A and B are shown apart, each in its own frame.
Chain A
Amino acid sequence: MPTINEKLTEEIRTQAKALLANGTVAAVIGYSRGSLPMTVKPTVVRTAEDCGKLVWNSFCVLNLANYLPEVLKSVEPPRGPRDPKPEGPLAKVAVLATGCWSRNIVVQTQEHQVDPERVVVMGVASRGMVSRRKVEEQFAGREILTVEELDHDLVVKGADFEEKINRWSLVRDNCQTCTHPDPVLVDVRIGEPASERKNPNPFQQVDEIEGKSSEERWAWFTSEFSTCIRCYACRNACPLCYCPTCFVDDAKPQWVGKSLDAVDTGLFHLLRAYHCAGRCTDCGACESVCPMGINMRMLTKKLNKDVLNLYGVEAGMQPGSPLPLTTYATNDPQKFIVTEAKAVKEGV
């Protein structure tokens, strides 16, 4: 009896092969097997023969939408920066997408980074991706040599141990609190659709931090980000970060210091998070790729909460409408505007 992932893998291979063979797309963005347990490699497949490489499992933690603009460009005929766009339709690219990744494709479309006409979304309902860090922490001090995935359990093996653990207990925090596991865009359906998940409070972790005193919050912030080595894996793994020159890389003027000064590191993380306001789908790629295990997702999650409370919007959920922070309505909350009367009243 094949497992859920084996069935999905088979279906992905068949569909990708068909899309490439009949010329619908010029490339498929998916995952292939990794060299270590609990890793996969983001892979671009360009021939039907190569589709056998593609795999699907619970460790697909990177957001494939991140690769979409670049792969779309790679299938266009080469041209110089001033050359006109070639006549006729450009080649398409297929991309695997779960709920959050598909919402990122919506955001990329809203921000004109991706032409939706050229994207074939191979939609997979997410069952929640497993955090490699959580598994490693559970087996601290013991080396994991293989991790076999069953439908609801992981079988973790080392040189002298073998343990079966419930899969859901090791699923990433963002996936555990996620309410939209099914893709919002689907051109080719892989597997069965999933219904919306119920979660009375997806922002519980944020609430816990907000519930602290300002001193405690500051202590949390300084401690959480103190191990940052400024490798920018969080930024580079994020499909929202596509600026040709990031503010941290600007040399003239230089906005942020380059070393490990706590002020600079903190500034980088705060600004990175604010740049994601109203756009972040909580895909968790930033946290998953951090080599130091920093929970920087708490910052973006807080902004997701604010945007939902203020504007009633979750990023990427309404493909046709503009991004919440690029538009306005007359009844937008404007508590931040300080009027004279208010200032007198509040003693500002």
Chain B
Amino acid sequence: MKVFRLSQTELDSMVQGWSQNRRVYRPAAGRQQSAQADCAPGWERVAGSSPLTVATGPSKTSVKTFLFPQPETMQTYTLKSSDPDKGLLKEPEKTTGKQIIVGLRPCDARSVKLNNLPFREDPFYQASLARTVMVGFTCNTMCATCFCDQMGGSPMGTEGLDIAISQVDGTMIAEVLTPAGEELIADLSLTPAEDSDINALAERRKDCPQADSAKLDALKSRDLNKLYGAPVWQALGESCINCGACTFNCPTCYCFDVQDEVVRGQGRRIRYWDSCMFPLYSLHTTGHNPRGQKMQRTRNRFMHKLKYFPDRYGPFSCVGCGRCVQDCPVNIDIREVIHDLLAVE
């Protein structure tokens, strides 16, 4: 791993340099009045040389939009009788060229790793991942809604990042963590970090909030299936309005549905984000809905994150970014849900 010292000017010109021949994206500053035409809501494409600063806390919308786009074209086809290829599914034109995401936070970077567990054999996710380079900013401040440390991450974490940029005592330090990260800085002459910088960074990492492993273990060892009928779900389900604000802004919610869209004989098979909060999500073709009640859908979201996913893959499907806490119209707070589940006798 290489470690460099950066000035704001060096960072800005570095990012600007990348944007010359690659797509570089950053979180939009403040409330976005209008989404950019070629970019998902909450993000903007870096163009020109505006100084790169990122607001405290995670970006408004999560980084998943770059790896699991809403929507993603899986196949294309034509239904025109005159076309000899009528009805043949074809691979869509591949998007090539690297995309660089600058300014994401450690929670989002970790989410990319977590989503890679269910998507490890998914050609679309893997293709997006292969062409994405992530340059993240570690966090010196945790917001009131942040709880990455409680879910096995860290505000100074580097998991999933190619380059991690940290501010330590007024000095900006860049850790280049992967070959993809090294490729980005290959042509640049950067100042190597002093030993004192590296020590200060290690010190900061050691001092930052750490996972309360006792609580994580307590939750992991709890047989949540036994709590399936617990009264906590009733109260939660009653206040939940079953919108998709939590799932769509969650970096680790990865459910999708597949659909054909045909316009004037030209079709495309897309996958688009779906949410377990929506009744249609679990509706069977028979008309039966195994999660026909609001409460069942609310419960499923938490059971998936805290039970089904860890049972299958190990870690919880939550990185503690706090977006769901921030955006929930009825203030359903996953931290309180965990607390309540642990408190049930």
Contact = CB atoms under 8 A, between A and B. Distances in A.
Interface stretch (B89-97, B209-217, B239-247, B305-313): B239-247
Looking at chain B's contact residues, the main secondary structure is: loop
A39 interface: yes
A237 B35 CA distance: 24
A68 to B, nearest CB: 12
Contacts of B249: 229, 231, 291
A253 to B, nearest CB: 13
Interface string B307-345: 000000000000000000111011111011000000000
Given A226-B34, A227-B41, A259-B270, A35 B71 contact: no
Given A41-B239, A260-B71, A226 B41 contact: yes
Interface string B120-152: 000000000000000000000101110000000
A143 B329 contact: no
Contacts of A289: 241, 243, 245, 329
Nearest to B145: A36
A249 B270 contact: no
Given A231-B243, A292-B41, A39 B248 contact: no
Contact of B329 (A62, A70, A228, A293): A62
A40 interface: yes
B259 interface: yes
A233 B270 contact: no
Nearest to A293: B31
A41 B280 CA distance: 26
Chain A interface bracket (under 10, 10 to 19, 20 to 34, 35 or more): 35 or more
Given A227-B34, A257-B261, A258-B257, A291 B325 contact: no
Contacts of A251: 280
A259 B70 contact: yes
B331 A230 contact: no
Contact of B144 (A36, A42, A44): A36
B17 interface: no
A231 B245 contact: yes
A41 B330 contact: yes
Nearest to B247: A231
A281 interface: no
A36 B335 CA distance: 12
Given A230-B244, A258-B272, A143 B33 contact: no
A34 B243 contact: no
Contacts of A318: none
B279 A249 contact: yes
Interface string B1-40: 0000000000000000000000000000011111100001
Contacts of A187: none
B106 interface: no
B39 to A, nearest CB: 10
B203 interface: no
B41 A229 contact: yes
Interface string B259-278: 10100000000101001001
Interface string A55-72: 000000010001100110
A232 interface: yes
A161 to B, nearest CB: 14
Q: Which of A74, A141, A236 has the most CB of B within 10 A?
A: A236
A192 interface: no
A294 to B, nearest CB: 10
Contacts of B259: 258
A154 B235 CA distance: 30
B233 to A, nearest CB: 14
A74 B234 CA distance: 11
Interface string A219-242: 000011011111111011100000
A145 interface: yes
Contact of A223 (B33, B143, B239, B335): B33
Interface string A16-59: 00000000000000000011110111111000000000000000
A230 B242 CA distance: 13
A317 B110 CA distance: 52
Nearest to B246: A231
A137 interface: yes
B188 interface: no
The 8 closest A-B pairs by CB, nearest first: A289-B329, A259-B71, A233-B243, A223-B34, A291-B327, A231-B244, A226-B35, A34-B331
Interface of A: 34-37, 39-44, 62, 66-67, 70-71, 74, 133, 137, 140-141, 143, 145, 223-224, 226-233, 235-237, 245, 249, 251, 257-260, 288-289, 291-293
Given A39-B331, A289-B245, 11 more contacts: A35-B331, A70-B294, A133-B31, A226-B34, A227-B32, A231-B245, A231-B275, A233-B241, A233-B329, A259-B272, A293-B31
26 contacts: A34-B331, A35-B331, A35-B335, A39-B331, A41-B330, A41-B332, A44-B239, A62-B330, A133-B31, A137-B31, A223-B34, A227-B34, A231-B243, A233-B244, A233-B245, A236-B241, A236-B243, A237-B243, A249-B279, A249-B280, A251-B280, A258-B71, A260-B70, A289-B243, A291-B326, A292-B41
